[in-house]
Amino acid sequence: MTTPLYAIPGAPATSAPGVTEAAGVAPPRTVAQVLAQSQVEAVLDELDRDLVGLKPVKQRIRDIAALLVIDKLRLAHGLAAATPSLHMCFTGNPGTGKTTVAMRMAQILHRLGYVRKGHLVAVTRDDLVGQYIGHTAPKTKEVLKKAMGGVLFIDEAYYLYRPENERDYGAEAIEILLQVMENQRDDLVVILAGYKDRMDTFFQSNPGMSSRIAHHIDFPDYASDELMAIAERMLAGMAYRFAPEARAAFDEYLARRLQQPHFANARSVRNALDRARLRQASRLFAERDRVLTEADLTTLDERDIRASRVFAS
């Protein structure tokens, strides 16, 4: 029996089951062949299309994909077989797209055969660390079990390390994570996420973690025109749109909101749109006998935006 040198789990079969092996699938020799077999290009194109801005992030993801594709081709020549270290760190302010990109990354890793399932398990400290002695190891192991075959996304990972607290169980979780990141890296990719400065401090105190992270990607804040484009894309995705005056009002809304504390980039945009949709619904709800057209039902008007508290001050 001949075992194919290279197979991508989950990739569409090009021939009937069983036939493949008998015919002997040739290992890929070109980038195009790996891309075609893995359908990774589709994920990269979607990433480009669906997400506004993030140019440096998209480029980094492409670079990592290129590395993995070339690695596959090297493997087909019997070169360096060791699994590349794929653990990553995504830094940036809230709402800059870290979780969203991590999900795409999981898909890419899956399509290229680096993880079996390609799902993403998103956790924070509380999911990993127990309150009492003996609780942390089982909690962490349970999460790892769920994430196996995919990506474990640890949001605000630095909270695992609390040096001010002598008896902190976070250290125990870190120990277990480090072991798994080393020994099971052929089936689990860990992505740490959080604010850049806190992550830097965390790595300084945890060199073991730092040395296991192969890729650091920084997510910049969005510029206001990008936030506007994100808003329009979100609305289109929900079959809503701005009336022209509403669009202008939202532009003004963003300018004001950006000056206020706790602005969370695309997340704040999503929340603002959710509230505007609520106001639109209440406005329409009040007009009991009017026939509501498709335009009525899909259009956010200026009032729906200007009623925000942001305009009050």
Q: Provide the binding-site residues for ligand ADP, judged by CB under 6 A.
A: 51-54, 92, 94-100, 230, 233, 266-267, 270
Shortest Cβ 218–ligand ADP spacing (Å): 11
Please work out the total of residues on this chain that contact Mg ion, with binding judged by CB under 5 A.
1
Q: Which helix (H) or strand (E) covers residue 242, if one does?
A: strand 241-242
Shortest Cβ 100–ligand ADP spacing (Å): 3
257 binds, among ligand ADP, Mg ion, none (CB under 5 to 8 A by kind): none
33 binds, among Mg ion, ligand ADP, none (CB under 5 to 8 A by kind): none
Within 242-301, the residues that bind Mg ion by CB under 5 A are none
At 93, give phi and psi (nearest 5°): -70, 165
Q: Give the integer Cα–Cα distance in Å for 15 and 181.
A: 36
Within 98-137, the residues that bind Mg ion by CB under 5 A are 99
270 binds, among ligand ADP, Mg ion, none (CB under 5 to 8 A by kind): ligand ADP
DSSP β-ladder status, 299-300 and 88-92? unpaired
How far is residue 52 from each of residues 100, 102, 229, 231, measured CA to CA in Å? 12, 16, 7, 10
Cβ nearer to ligand ADP, comparing 20 with 100: 100
Shortest Cβ 2–ligand ADP spacing (Å): 44
Shortest Cβ 92–Mg ion spacing (Å): 9
Burial class of residue 6, CB neighbours in 10 A (0-12, 13-18, 19+): middle
Cβ nearer to Mg ion, comparing 99 with 299: 99
Cβ nearer to Mg ion, comparing 33 with 99: 99
Of 50, 66, 137, residue with least CA distance to 108? 66
Shortest Cβ 121–Mg ion spacing (Å): 13
Shortest Cβ 89–Mg ion spacing (Å): 14
How far is residue 164 from each of residues 132, 178, 212, 216, measured CA to CA in Å? 18, 21, 24, 27
At 167, give phi and psi (nearest 5°): -105, 40
Cβ nearer to ligand ADP, comparing 141 with 275: 275
Q: Is the dihedral of CA 239, 248, 296, 280 positive or negative?
A: positive
Cβ nearer to Mg ion, comparing 156 with 296: 156
Within 85-104, the residues that bind Mg ion by CB under 5 A are 99
Cβ nearer to ligand ADP, comparing 69 with 266: 266
Outline where the chain has alpha helix (H). 19-23, 31-38, 40-50, 55-76, 98-111, 125-128, 136-147, 170-183, 196-205, 207-212, 224-237, 244-259, 265-285, 294-298, 302-306
Shortest Cβ 70–ligand ADP spacing (Å): 27
In the complex, the residues that contact Mg ion under the rule CB under 5 A are: 99
